[in-house]
Chain A
Amino acid sequence: MKKVLMSGNEACGEGAMIAGCRFYAGYPITPQNELTEYMARRMPETGGVFIQSESEVAAINMVFGASLTGARAMTSSSSPGISLKQEGISYMAACELPAVIINMVRGGPGLGNIAPAQSDYFQATKGGGHGDYHLIVLGPSSAQEMMELTVLAFDLADKYRTPVLILGDGLIGQMMEPVLVNSRQSLVVSKKLTTKNWVLTGCKGRDPRIVKSLWLNDGALEAFNRKLGEKYEHIKRAETRYEAVRTEDADIVFVGYGSVARILRAAVARLREEGIRAGLLRPITLWPFPQAAIRQLSKKTKKFVVVEMSMGQMLEDVELAVAGNAKIEFYGRPGGGIPHEEEIYQRVIARHKVPKQSKK
């Protein structure tokens, strides 16, 4: 295994190569261009297909087509572009087509800015496009994880026949870090996943197949939605992932994902030095959300502090999980603001140190 200095965007691209991605289509948008450019270089080297599409809408539909053939396919973008892809994502969820979609989130709404943000959490985890569906959503917090979760995303997509979205941000995408480039074998890959009995390859030697999302007959869509729902329930049970840092004895548990989790990890260490029992619960799957783990913690911890680079989106999932069992505080930095470890440290210290006696 070799250690390579690369950005999160490049690590994601390399993860796709390790996972055997055969098709990539994308449209330029900051802060994820390094990924598109990486794929433009790497895909032809391995006999794969790279297309710079005319739009995000076209890119996701090209991925739809490539996925229909059984190929591992990916697209990437940043927030405004991901909004454009929602139509195609909904159709892919409906046709149960696997694919990996990368969102290196930037500030919004609208054109917003190109700074890192976490303000697409609602869009990613609550549906995004029209209809009754979910995506598996992964939240990497380092370049290393950007690579590993990309490989995992391809596996989960094939395993469950569903689009998987990676919710990164401009910081994760553009920050350079040493990355251990694992061989494919060392990552979780099942060979069974390559057998796909639903792909469109021409009907040679078998009955014709139809892949579609229209269910006009009475009750047909209801039955299909129930089938999708069962799949999502299974994913919730089997695929929820999170990291718990010093939560066993914690009085205060931070909840944060992605870039923010790195900052919170440092804040936890510093607060522990001050004798404050702080811990961190970092969701790795944002959908399915680690609801049970947080509910369990809420029975013994006094307070949760939710930190996000938004006005509070994951906060709602934490509130549902805590279900009134503990206090919840929120600290958010929207619009491209990045919380500093010092800010978080000071906010917690200010509330937990015994206040100084005021002068009489």
Chain B
Amino acid sequence: MTVQCNTMKKVFTRPKSLRDVRTHYCPGCGHGVIHRLICEAIDELGIREKVIGIAPVGCAVIAYDYWDFDTTEAAHGRPPAVATGIKRMMPDRIVFTYQGDGDLAAIGTAEIIHAANRGENISVFFVNNGTYGMTGGQMAPTTLLNQKTTTTPHGRDAKTAGYPLKISEMLAILPGTAYLERVSTHSPKEILKARAAIKKSFVKQIENKGFSMVEILSACPTYWKMSPQEAVRHMEKAVASYYPLGILTEK
């Protein structure tokens, strides 16, 4: 029940698109914040009843337990292909994928590149936390050099494990990509920018501009073996310096 108050204006509330439940995410994890940003954008644009979201394989697999709109769940790496099928059949609906770095930049590399290259009119929210959280903290394609993970116990060595993949830069050069921005969640200021970018991606889709993606840097304090405070400092100093923030392309 809403309590009416004559003297104070309500300035902050749970978005309608976000269910009133507790999430399973670890302290300091970025998923909860990013889920909320997506829901805020959906509410603001009034598209909740037109949205179809695709949850990934990974920590955010049960995002549909938190989102209050139509959702499905795709096989690992395949959300862009599933989104293609949905959007092509229902061009007036708003379709988005929510994908982690393993999903989008390793096992699903072919699907994301070709969805972008076809200019599929979908929104992709790419959460880059540099690790495979759900399976216990293994190396991701975006893991930084020298970063220790359970499969790079001595730190990621480019000689044997390759380099952190800047897939957004790769996708930004494609003519089918209408809008691509990298944002972060390491400070309130950056979170507000992330919120604006997510909303802009939906707007691009509503305006039929084609493929758009927002890469969102996110913390995984659990597998980075850091406190949430250390994790956000690490994001600002190390992660965001390798993965520079800002608009990579906008057409």
A: residues with CB less than 8 A from B are: 22-23, 25, 49, 51, 53-55, 57-59, 61-69, 71, 73, 87-88, 91, 95, 200-205, 208-214, 216
Let me know if B85 and A67 touch, CB within 8 A. Answer: yes
Cβ of A23: which chain B residues have Cβ within 8 Å of it? 85, 88-89
Let me know if A68 and B61 touch, CB within 8 A. Answer: no
Cβ of B86: which chain A residues have Cβ within 8 Å of it? 65-66, 68-69, 200
Q: Do A212 and B49 form a contact, CB below 8 Å, given A49-B89, A68-B82?
A: no
C-alpha spacing A226/B88, complex, angstroms: 34
B78 at the interface (CB under 8 A from A): yes
Q: Do A55 and B110 form a contact, CB below 8 Å, given A25-B85, A63-B85, A65-B82?
A: yes
Let me know if B64 and A65 touch, CB within 8 A. Answer: no
Q: Do A61 and B75 form a contact, CB below 8 Å, given A66-B86, A68-B86?
A: yes
Query: How far, in Å, is A299 (CB) from chain B's closest CB?
Result: 46
C-alpha spacing A112/B51, complex, angstroms: 44
Cβ of A88: which chain B residues have Cβ within 8 Å of it? 75, 78
Cβ of B114: which chain A residues have Cβ within 8 Å of it? 53-54, 58
C-alpha spacing A160/B51, complex, angstroms: 27
B249 at the interface (CB under 8 A from A): no
Number of A-B contacts (CB under 8 A): 127
Let me know if A54 and B73 touch, CB within 8 A. Answer: no
C-alpha spacing A209/B73, complex, angstroms: 12
**CB-nearest residue of chain A relative to B72?**
A211
B: residues with CB less than 8 A from A are: 48-52, 55, 61-62, 64, 67-75, 78, 81-90, 93-94, 110-111, 113-114, 118
Cβ of A64: which chain B residues have Cβ within 8 Å of it? 74, 78, 81-82, 85
Cβ of B52: which chain A residues have Cβ within 8 Å of it? 68, 200-202
Cβ of B64: which chain A residues have Cβ within 8 Å of it? 210, 212
Let me know if B93 and A202 touch, CB within 8 A. Answer: yes
Cβ of A203: which chain B residues have Cβ within 8 Å of it? 48-49, 69-70
- Picked from B85, B111, B113, the residue with its CB within 8 Å of the CB of A68 is B85
C-alpha spacing A211/B61, complex, angstroms: 12
Q: Which 5 A-B residue pairs are closest in the complex by CB-CB distance?
A: A65-B85, A61-B81, A204-B49, A54-B114, A66-B85
Q: Do A214 and B85 form a contact, CB below 8 Å, given A57-B110, A204-B50?
A: no
Q: Do A58 and B50 form a contact, CB below 8 Å, given A68-B86, A71-B89, A202-B69?
A: no
**CB-nearest residue of chain B relative to A50?**
B88
* Extra inter-chain contacts (12) besides given A55-B110, A88-B78, CB under 8 Å: A23-B85, A59-B81, A64-B78, A64-B81, A65-B88, A66-B85, A91-B74, A95-B72, A204-B50, A208-B67, A208-B71, A210-B73
Let me know if A208 and B72 touch, CB within 8 A. Answer: no
**CB-nearest residue of chain A relative to B19?**
A208
C-alpha spacing A58/B84, complex, angstroms: 9
Q: Do A51 and B69 form a contact, CB below 8 Å, given A22-B89, A69-B89, A203-B48?
A: no
Q: Do A202 and B82 form a contact, CB below 8 Å, given A64-B74, A91-B75, A214-B61?
A: no
Let me know if B78 and A57 touch, CB within 8 A. Answer: yes
Let me know if B73 and A211 touch, CB within 8 A. Answer: yes
Query: How far, in Å, is B187 (CB) from chain A's closest CB?
Result: 32
C-alpha spacing A204/B62, complex, angstroms: 22
Query: How far, in Å, is B182 (CB) from chain A's closest CB?
Result: 24
Query: How far, in Å, is B153 (CB) from chain A's closest CB?
Result: 29
Query: How far, in Å, is A247 (CB) from chain B's closest CB?
Result: 44
Cβ of B90: which chain A residues have Cβ within 8 Å of it? 69, 201-202
